[in-house]
Amino acid sequence: MSTEASLFNQATIGDILVTRLVEFVRLTRKNGFQVGIAEAIDAIKVAELCFEPMGLYWGLRALLCSKADDWRRFDQLFDSYWQFENSKRQVQSSSRPNGKLEQRSPKKFGIAADSLQVQLGDDSDAGDGSARGGACYQATHLQKDFRFLTTASDIEAMALLVQRLAYRMRRRLRRRWQIAHEGKRLQLRHTVRYSLSYGGTPLEPVYSQRRRKQPRLILFLDVSRSMNIYSYFFLRFAHGIISAFDDAHAFIYHTHLVSITDALREQSNEKLKEKLTAISAGWAGGTRIGDSLQYFNQQFGRKLLSRGTLFMVLSDGLDTGSPALLAEQLKIIKQRVRRLIWLNPLLGREGYQPLAGGMVAALPLLDVFAPAFNLETLAALESVLIKI
């Protein structure tokens, strides 16, 4: 820590303050803020420029935060570190004239060094200049079955990865389309470049192709009791898909069918939870896939099913309804879509055979029948999407 602190010119502000600032930058790093040495150096500059009592707070907030979530957590970190009493309330009143802001004494900034309230934790990884720990974590989680995740933090971390996966899928798909080089439109840039070797006559025309339209995705999620462990991850996956793809729709079903596309468009997590709770009455009950599909065909089929559509069912196929109805309805869908995909979390589990009545009825109709119990299997979907 002292090495990091000694990097800075301490001509204008005191040693203690520099130390405190560097420590604070590290504290934010420990708390998941994306900050490194460059930010620590600028934090010192902020303190040097510090024009008024609140200046340090405003300045550090602008410097160290990098997303709305950081912005919300910053107050608490700042207050607990710099030890302002009741300052939360003062911050909230900040835009009112004659608030209590001026009571924040500038003297307080440097003196609280010995009575640190927030634990800085283990400093062993300090000084690398960044706070990125994603890659290794991801690797170990890639093959973990969703049902073996137990702690709340594990589940949350996995859910986040699932959601990101959906984003990444889109990115890959788009990159593929961008490099297409033949088509109807003349691409002047390269045509002119190539014409140089013919003395300016464009003998070798170059074309570019329009981006291919993304396929429409319809997700059909089973949230019955037997799928209980997986539902949450599939919902987060659906959330990622909905936000990443322009034309995606999601439905959940157990004994009946509910569209959750609108609810999943909600950006903030709290609101999303609220909305899902509101529509989740009857979750984890029995399953009637056939009836749900029939309802879907009647209500949404005409609007949503087309030749460019990918229809994806995420279910274990354990059904209390009639297999004949399921087969009949799936056949209608199959006739109208590009690909019919069934993802089964039980598939790939030792000793599992798709023998459940519903599964047997559906199998001959499916284009893709694949497992989906961990990140890796979900990621394998990408290659299916690309082929469309």
Partner 1 sequence: MSSRQHFQTCLEQSGYIAEPSLAATLLLFTELRRPLLVEGEAGVGKTEIAKALAKLFDTQLIRLQCYEGLDTCTAVYEWNYQRQLLAIKIQEGEHLSIEQKERHIFSDSFLLKRPLLQAITQTTSPVLLVDEIDRADEEFEAYLLEILSDFQISIPELGTIKATSIPYVVLTSNGTRDLSDALRRRCLYHYVDYPEMDKELRIIQQHEARISQRLAGHVVAFVHALRQLDLRKKPGVAETLDWVSALLRMDIESLNADSELIAQTMVCLLKTKEDRNAVTPEVLVRLLADSV
Q: Contact 250/259 with Cβ under 8 angstroms?
A: yes
Closer of 140 and 178 to partner 1 (Cβ): 178
Give the residue, chosen from 61, 73, 141, 144, that forms a contact with partner 1 under the rule CB under 8 A: 61
Q: How far is CA 50 from each of CA 26, 42, 53, rounded to the nearest angstrom?
A: 20, 12, 8
Closer of 101 and 217 to partner 1 (Cβ): 101
132 binds partner 1 (CB under 8 A): yes
Residue-by-residue DSSP string for 124-165: TTTTSS----HHHHHHHHTT--GGG--SHHHHHHHHHHHHHH
199 binds partner 1 (CB under 8 A): yes
Interface segment toward partner 1; rule CB under 8 A; list 63-71, 117-125, 146-154, 329-337: 63-71
Could you give the residue ranges of the DSSP H alpha helices within the chain? 2-6, 15-30, 37-49, 55-64, 68-82, 87-92, 108-111, 134-141, 152-178, 188-195, 228-244, 261-264, 269-279, 289-296, 302-304, 323-336, 357-362, 375-379, 381-387
* Cα angle 153, 154, 156; round to 5: 65
Q: Which residues lie below 8 Å from residue 199, measured CB to CB, with a gap of 6+?
A: none
Q: What distance, in Å, lies between the first and last C-alpha atoms of the chain?
A: 54
The SS3 of residue 219 is strand
278 binds partner 1 (CB under 8 A): no
Q: Contact 238/264 with Cβ under 8 angstroms?
A: yes
Give the residue, chosen from 40, 47, 63, 326, that forms a contact with partner 1 under the rule CB under 8 A: 63
Interface segment toward partner 1; rule CB under 8 A; list 145-153, 184-192, 222-230, 249-257: 184-192
195 binds partner 1 (CB under 8 A): yes
Give the residue, chosen from 59, 215, 321, 358, that forms a contact with partner 1 under the rule CB under 8 A: 59
387 binds partner 1 (CB under 8 A): no
88 binds partner 1 (CB under 8 A): no
Q: Contact 270/300 with Cβ under 8 angstroms?
A: no
Give the residue, chosen from 13, 17, 46, 169, that forms a contact with partner 1 under the rule CB under 8 A: 46
* Residues 222-251: x where in contact with partner 1 by CB under 8 A, - otherwise, as a string: ---------------------xx-------
Q: How far is the CB of 42 from partner 1 (least distance, A)?
A: 6
Cβ count near 188 (within 10 Å): 13
Give the residue, chosen from 25, 27, 47, 65, that forms a contact with partner 1 under the rule CB under 8 A: 65
181 binds partner 1 (CB under 8 A): no
Give the residue, chosen from 12, 94, 269, 335, that forms a contact with partner 1 under the rule CB under 8 A: 94
The residue whose two tokens read 């109805």 is: 325
39 binds partner 1 (CB under 8 A): yes
Give the residue, chosen from 171, 256, 273, 302, that forms a contact with partner 1 under the rule CB under 8 A: 171
76 binds partner 1 (CB under 8 A): no
Instruction: Enumerate binding residues for partner 1 (CB under 8 A).
Output: 34-36, 39, 42, 45-46, 49, 51-52, 54-55, 58-59, 61-63, 65-68, 70-71, 94-97, 101, 130, 132, 167, 171, 174-175, 178, 188-189, 192, 195-196, 199-200, 202, 211, 243-244, 267
